[in-house]
Amino acid sequence: MKGISRVFSRRGGVRGAVVAAGVGKHARYYRSDLVGTNLHSRFQLQFDRFYESRVKEYTQPTKTPVTVAVTGAAGNIGYALMFRLASGAMLGPDQPIYINAIELPFAMEALKGVIMELRDCAFPLVKGILATDDAEQGFENADYALLVGSKPRSKGQERSDLLKENGGIFETIGRILNKVAKKTCKTTVVGNPANTNCLITAHNAPDIPSENFSSMMRLDHDRGLAQAALKLGHDPQDITEFAVWGNHSATMFPDLTYARLFGETYRHTFGNKEFDAWNEKEFIPTVQQRGAAIIEARGSSSAASAANAAIAQTRDWVHGNDGRWLTMGIKSGGEYGIPEGLWSGFPVEVDGEGNYAIVKDLPISSFQEEQIGKSVKELLSERDAVAELLH
């Protein structure tokens, strides 16, 4: 206990105690043991508050465990994703989870290493880990599916080639989800081309409601927020009412039309006269080309930021996000002229209970219509290219 009181005194009783007190069931033991030590009462009070607000949450989850299946768990994104998931970043600090990590046979040895590291973190929320190359076993009773596994686009590779290679993977996964996952399973598709892969998956899982399938557009959303915030020296969360329309590709339309900074329009704060030129010549192309710029710089596709976006999109879908607009790739019901049945980026609002709705009645200018139209055209051509997979 000396160690704890020393850490407490030095760091004001909060951060140091995470290490000392966050050791599973022993948190309680430490706490009761602290009573009666020579700790200054101020620190004891801080500890009590900390225990109530944080340690209790992390060490005594009360909810029924849920199963999260992750494909491509040994890949680049998977490596960044698994640890965030296990820490509670996606489903919350009181939600215990079983993690089902699914990989291809050749990657099982690498997956073994990832699982070893995951165990070495001793995450209190993780109630079990399954590593498998059998997708039926991996998706059995899944409550959530994060579909990362696919082939990433390599330097200079055409999107159409990637589409053909990856389409088959998502056809199979859709069928398996339909057969063995819970009918309430929520799926986030990360593997590219994410929107069309999501379309294929949902088509092949007809017993699961199509609103339970979303493609990841959150990385594009966060990239746009970050660029817009940087330009005016603000924090990304200061900007609201921003969204990205269309495909997760270079045709996407990151749209600042409705964006606000502390209630004032972004456009006005920027300067009405200068906004259009910057928006068209800098902002939109930078966000559209960000993925390619990262491949160019790193020699491989974005990984940590993609993992963060998958966690954030699924988290906000499940738990809500204080009324802010999100971008999610979801099935169009024909809103804003986007053909019914395509999976497209839309501005959405979430209710904190697992439901989302497209933001309604936004006025659309001819500039927006043109931008959205370009991306929709691409989505339609992708759909045509995989028509034989849409059963």
Ligand X SMILES: NC(=O)c1ccc[n+]([C@@H]2O[C@H](COP(=O)([O-])OP(=O)(O)OC[C@H]3O[C@@H](n4cnc5c(N)ncnc54)[C@H](O)[C@@H]3O)[C@@H](O)[C@H]2O)c1
Interaction site with ligand X (CB under 6 A) = 71-72, 74-78, 102-104, 107, 148-150, 152-153, 169, 190-192, 194, 216, 219, 248, 301-303, 306
Nearer to ligand X, 329 or 347 (CB): 329
Q: Is 74 annotated as a binding residue?
A: yes
- Strand, coil or helix: what is 37? coil
Q: Is 341 annotated as belonging to a binding site?
A: no
| Structural contact between residues 166 and 313, judged by C-beta atoms closer than 8 angstroms | no
For residue 26, indicate whether it is catalytic. Answer: no
Cβ proximity to ligand X: between 14 and 294 the closer is 294
Output 16 or 152, the one with its CB closest to ligand X.
Answer: 152
76 is in an annotated binding site: yes
Cβ burial, residue 235 (10 Å; 0-12/13-18/19+)? exposed
C-alpha distance from residue 95 to each of 22, 29, 246, 356 (Å): 16, 22, 33, 21
Q: Has 78 been labeled as part of a binding site?
A: yes
Q: How far is the CB of 136 from ligand X (least distance, A)?
A: 12
**Contact (CB, 8 A) for 178 and 204:** yes
Task: Give least dist CB 110 to ligand X, A.
Answer: 7
DSSP state of 250: T
Please identify, using beta-carbon distances, which residue of 249 and 332 lies nearer to ligand X.
249
As measured in angstroms, the least distance from the Cβ of 192 to ligand X is 4
Candidate list 26, 40, 248, 319, residue with the active-site label = 248
The nearest distance, CB 78 to ligand X, in angstroms, is: 6
Number of Cα atoms under 13 Å in the Cβ half of residue 326: 31
The set of residues, in sequence order, having a beta carbon less than 8 Å from that of 23 and lying 6+ positions away, is 30
Give Cα separations from 248 to 78, 235, 253, 332, 382 (angstroms): 19, 24, 9, 15, 12
Mark 295-304 as b/e (b = at least 16 C-beta within 10 Å): beeeeebbbe
Q: Is residue 84 part of an annotated ligand binding site? A: no
* 166 annotated as a binding-site residue: yes
75 is in an annotated binding site: yes
Report the nearest approach of ligand X to the CB of residue 352 (Å): 24
Taking the least distance from each CB to ligand X, the nearer of 77 and 181 is 77
According to DSSP, the β-strands at 343-350 and 326-331 are: antiparallel
3-state secondary structure of 280: helix
Q: Which residue has its beta carbon closest to ligand X? A: 75
Nearest to 305 by CA among 81, 72, 147: 81
- Residue appearing with tokens 């030129």: 277
Binding site residue list for substrate: 153, 159, 192, 223
Just list the catalytic residues. Answer: 248
Binding site residue list for NAD(+): 72-78, 166, 190-192
